[in-house]
Amino acid sequence: MLKQSLVLLSSLLVAPAFADWTVAPEQSSLHFMSTKNAQVTEVHAFEELSGSVSDSGKLMIEVPLSSVNTNIPIRNTRMQEKLFNVAKFPAATFTADVPSDLMKLEAGSSTTAKVDGTLSLHGVEAPVSFNVSVSKVSADTMVVSTVSPTLIGAETFGLTAGLDMLQNIAGLKSITQTSPVTFSVTFEME
């Protein structure tokens, strides 16, 4: 009985090794690209994101859509109002079950993987996959970055009418209906 108690006690003492991870926003970035008039491609960003990964691998990332940054203030406002409708849909979220082998990486090691999850955007939920590189920089810091862009389609998330409005307002011949998305997110152990 004493032996079992000692084993239980020692497992409780090492429990912090299985603590939750949270996004370090100042060390994380999320970018997307758009192409207008068939030949002008621009890189945009969301300036804010938050989220966590539980010790069991439950991932949740939230992106306030009002934090969109296109480097043109009036375009930011138009995207917030006409495309994303932030008054009704203030955030996009991505949820996934992180594969257990990624949660068990040793400090100083890295690997690549595919993370399948659900993106909730503009009131629509759809499956989305990201090909990522995961590096456990230290015992309490992990960096997850895309190794290739993931294409997000406007039609899938009911954003086509908003894109059409933006195209008309700006007097453009075209805006692509698909945006490549990339990110680099740093997680720190709580």
Q: Where are the domains of the chain?
A: 21-189
Q: How far separated are the first and last CA of the chain, in Å rounded?
A: 33
The residue to which tokens 């039609």 are assigned: 155
CATH code of the region 21-189? 2.40.128.110
What does each C-alpha distance from 125 to 20, 73, 92, 174 come to in angstroms? 25, 29, 10, 26
When pLDDT is cut at 50, 70 and 90, the band that residue 190 belongs to is confident
Mean pLDDT, the chain, as a whole number? 90
Q: Report the pLDDT value the prediction gives residue 5, as an integer from 0 to 100.
A: 35
Q: Report the pLDDT value the prediction gives residue 32, as an integer from 0 to 100.
A: 97
Rounded Cα distance, 89 and 80, in Å: 10
Q: Report the pLDDT value the prediction gives residue 3, as an integer from 0 to 100.
A: 39
Which ranges of the chain would DSSP assign to H, the alpha helix? Answer: 2-13, 73-78, 100-103, 160-170
41-100 pLDDT, tens digit per residue, is 999 999 999 999 998 999 999 999 999 999 999 999 999 999 999 999 999 999 999 998
Rounded Cα distance, 81 and 161, in Å: 12
Q: Report the pLDDT value the prediction gives residue 55, as an integer from 0 to 100.
A: 87
When pLDDT is cut at 50, 70 and 90, the band that residue 185 belongs to is very high
Residue 16 has pLDDT above 60, yes or no: no
Q: Give the residue among 114, 160, 103 at the shortest CA–CA distance from 136.
A: 103
> What is the pTM for the complete model shown?
0.87
Q: Report the pLDDT value the prediction gives residue 19, as an integer from 0 to 100.
A: 62
CB atoms within 10 A of CB 26: 7
Q: Is 145 left (phi over 0), alpha (psi -120 to 50) or beta?
A: beta
Residue 154 has pLDDT above 60, yes or no: yes
Residue 122 has pLDDT above 70, yes or no: yes
23: its two tokens: 């996004």
What does each C-alpha distance from 84 to 4, 26, 81, 118 come to in angstroms? 56, 24, 6, 18
Residue 126 has pLDDT above 70, yes or no: yes
Residue 12 has pLDDT above 90, yes or no: no
When pLDDT is cut at 50, 70 and 90, the band that residue 157 belongs to is very high
Residue 28 has pLDDT above 50, yes or no: yes
